[in-house]
Chains A and B, each alone.
Chain A
Amino acid sequence: MSKSVALTFALLVASVASVAWANEPPEIHLVIRGHRFVPTELKVPANTKIKLIVVNQDATPEEFESHELNREKVVTGGGTIPVYVGPLRPGRYPFFGDFHADTAQGALLAQ
């Protein structure tokens, strides 16, 4: 009796976990280093919601901004921020660092 209860419980946990995992968008990392984005062109899956993880390896703050993506978020020096993006139609979506716009330029390539 207890074995079937344990099995049912395990199946329940597994199904809940798989649903939870299915709902979490894929994480894609973007690094800020020397007031530049690394990589400058970042390939991402199209038509999928993604979670961009922007890691600021500089000591000073930067503002991740994009008109095409409709996103604007500050990341403090040494900080990491999540930015939900998409679902994006296939194409090129430029973004920039507003605090160092002369060097901090990049783009998402949705394909």
Chain B
Amino acid sequence: MVAIWILVFREVLEAAMIVSIVAAATRGVAGRWRWIGSGIGLGCAGAAIVAAGAERLAAAMSGMGQEWFNAGVLLAATAMIGWHVVWMARHGKQLAMDAGRFGDDVSAGRRPLTALMVVVALAVLREGSEVVLFGYGMFAGGSSSGGLWTGGLLGVLSGAAAGAAMYAGLLRIPMRHFFRATNGLLILLAAGLAAAAAGFLNQADVLPTLANPLWDSSWLLTDDAWLGRTLHALIGYTAQPTGMQVSFYVAVVGLLSGGARLAAPRRESISAVPTPST
């Protein structure tokens, strides 16, 4: 039961970190929990479908179907985050200013929500499909269904709790830095997802590694450690990345920060409200 709890917790943790960043980044937008909830629901449905088709997927693309699918899902999530980040850079200051009067801006807020809902759905789909396969294996292998359900539920609850803790922590960032901080976190998240995609394309022998590995930081923090896993989920930390993974990471950070800077409206100061002359 404990083994199931730990494995489910690990997978849910990865998705929960993404959900917490998305939830923080959409602070103030009306109805966002419904969107996030829909994303999670869609992701769960998708996870079941992916798990059911696992054998066919594995056989596709000359046996590299899993690698292509994972890379595709990860790159789609990267693109969605990228779109959101650039969109927020253009409109975000306005939304931050009106952070109280969102009724008018619900339609304006809705567009980035779709992108982030897809990001949440894709994250839950990826991690969830592993949980479904694992759970099915445990069930078919004769584990007691009581232990299975208890372990699984505990895993989901503890993962969700970790996500809630991260979300609460993010909310403590002072308002004047808040959206820049969450934007930065989203960029790092996107970069991490892109690096993971590069890893799968290396695995599929479709992209060269360039260096394998480029460095080894497992003396500092291993992939297995809880901090290592959390940082992997948040910012894509890997102890032994290939050169191609690092290239993807740097490229995405560059593209999205540059894109956000270019998209930002000319007017710098939010607080520049003309004071009436006395």
- Contact call B54/A61, Cβ cutoff below 8 A: yes
A11 to chain B, nearest CB (A): 28
Q: Which of A2-10, A36-44, A80-88 contacts B (4 or more CB under 8 A)?
A: A80-88
- Contact call A102/B55, Cβ cutoff below 8 A: no
Measured CA separation A73–B57 after assembly (Å): 12
Known: A61-B136, A74-B58, A84-B205. A67 touches B130 (CB 8 A): no
Query: Which residues of A does B touch, CB under 8 Å?
Result: 49, 58-63, 67-68, 70-77, 79, 81-84, 87, 98-99, 101-102
B206 to chain A, nearest CB (A): 10
- Contact call B205/A70, Cβ cutoff below 8 A: no
Known: A74-B54, A84-B204. A98 touches B199 (CB 8 A): no
Interface SS of chain B:
helix
Known: A58-B141, A87-B212. 13 other contacts (CB 8 A): A60-B141, A61-B134, A67-B224, A70-B203, A70-B238, A70-B240, A73-B58, A73-B203, A74-B130, A81-B66, A82-B64, A84-B203, A99-B133
- Contact call B133/A74, Cβ cutoff below 8 A: yes
Measured CA separation A79–B222 after assembly (Å): 30
- Contact call A76/B55, Cβ cutoff below 8 A: yes
| Number of residue pairs spanning A and B whose beta carbons lie under 8 angstroms apart | 74
Measured CA separation A72–B200 after assembly (Å): 8
26 pairs, A vs B, C-beta closer than 8 Å: A49-B205, A58-B141, A60-B140, A61-B134, A61-B137, A62-B137, A67-B218, A67-B222, A70-B199, A70-B202, A70-B213, A70-B240, A70-B242, A74-B54, A74-B66, A74-B130, A74-B133, A76-B54, A76-B58, A79-B55, A82-B62, A82-B63, A98-B7, A99-B7, A101-B3, A102-B3
Measured CA separation A58–B241 after assembly (Å): 32
Residues of chain A within 8 A of B134, CB atoms compared = 61, 63, 98-99
Query: Does B160 belong to the interface (CB within 8 Å)?
Result: no
- Contact call B140/A59, Cβ cutoff below 8 A: yes
Minimum CB distance partner of A73 in chain B: B66
Contacting residue for B63 out of A49, A74, A81, A99, CB 8 A: A81
Residues of chain B within 8 A of A77, CB atoms compared = 137, 140
Proximity string of chain B (191-235) to chain A, C-beta cutoff 8 Å, 1 when within and 0 when not: 000000001001111000000110000100011100000000000
A49 to chain B, nearest CB (A): 8
